[in-house]
């Protein structure tokens, strides 16, 4: 599963950074690029490449590293640990690239249109909210999440993918919606997370008092 995740990450990196020449892709042999050892691929590697054929990520920049995770960066060592713990390749990719969606090489379309201003606002607010929230029963600060643009309907949270769908962050109502949906995510493992009255009251307290 870790190898499948890495294969998708590498293919996506090529799609985002390589130069096209007809049907061929080329990338500079430079320390500025993601390089691997220049030896022939093993049969196992070729099988993994074939299994993941045409799968890429859409919606965020993709990088990877042997052992150093980071924003939009898959760490191979961590991916192996996640696979050994029973995670599938798509869950491993989602952890490394929370704003990205699995897509196809010939039509890379993201299901999450990122809202970086909203994400930055929420990250900054969480630091100030931390002392207040840590006193609330059931609160668990979310380590990795994405804020996505809501196409239509009411704001909501996709718990499986750790994504918050809102309209933006410009108005007070936008910020209340974002705070409200984040709290649903942060209290996911506690009954408070299903209590709309509690969640809305806490969101208003954080923003207005």
* Burial label, 93 (beta-carbon count in 10 A; 0-12, 13-18, 19+): buried
The CATH class given to the 116-208 domain equals: mainly alpha
Residue 79 CA to residue 86 CA, distance in Å, equals: 11
Helices (H) and strands (E) in the chain, counts: 7, 9
Contact in structure between 79 and 5 (CB atoms under 8 Å): yes
What is the Cβ-side half-sphere exposure of residue 74, based on CA atoms within 13 angstroms?
34
152 secondary structure, DSSP code: S
Q: What is the reported pTM?
A: 0.65
Q: Which residues contact 206 (CB under 8 A, 6 or more apart)?
A: 125, 129, 132, 133, 179
For CATH 1.10.10, the residue range(s) in the chain are 116-208
pLDDT tens per residue, the chain (209 residues)? Answer: 999 999 999 999 988 888 877 778 888 777 777 766 678 889 999 999 999 999 999 888 999 999 999 989 999 999 999 999 999 999 999 999 988 888 888 877 777 888 999 999 999 999 999 999 999 999 999 888 899 988 778 899 988 888 899 999 999 999 999 999 999 999 998 998 889 999 999 999 999 87
């Amino acid at each position: 599963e870790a190898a499948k995740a890495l294969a998708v990450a590498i293919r996506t990196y090529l799609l985002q950074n390589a130069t096209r020449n007809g049907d061929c892709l080329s990338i500079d042999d430079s320390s500025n690029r993601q390089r691997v050892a220049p030896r022939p691929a093993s049969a196992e590697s070729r099988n993994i490449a074939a299994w993941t054929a045409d799968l890429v990520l859409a919606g965020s920049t993709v990088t990877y590293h042997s052992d150093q995770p980071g924003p939009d960066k898959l760490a191979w060592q961590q991916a192996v640990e996640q696979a050994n713990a029973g995670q599938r390749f798509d869950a491993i990719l989602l952890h490394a690239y929370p704003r990205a969606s699995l897509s196809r090489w010939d039509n890379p379309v993201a299901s999450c249109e990122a809202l970086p201003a909203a994400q930055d606002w929420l990250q900054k607010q969480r630091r100030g909210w931390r002392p207040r929230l840590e006193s609330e029963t059931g609160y668990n600060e979310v380590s990795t999440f994405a804020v996505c643009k809501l196409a239509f309907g009411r704001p909501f949270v996709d718990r499986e993918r750790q994504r918050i769908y809102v309209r933006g962050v410009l108005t007070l109502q936008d910020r209340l919606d974002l705070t409200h949906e984040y709290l649903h995510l942060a209290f996911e493992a506690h009954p408070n997370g299903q209590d709309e009255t509690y969640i809305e009251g806490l969101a208003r307290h954080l923003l207005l008092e």
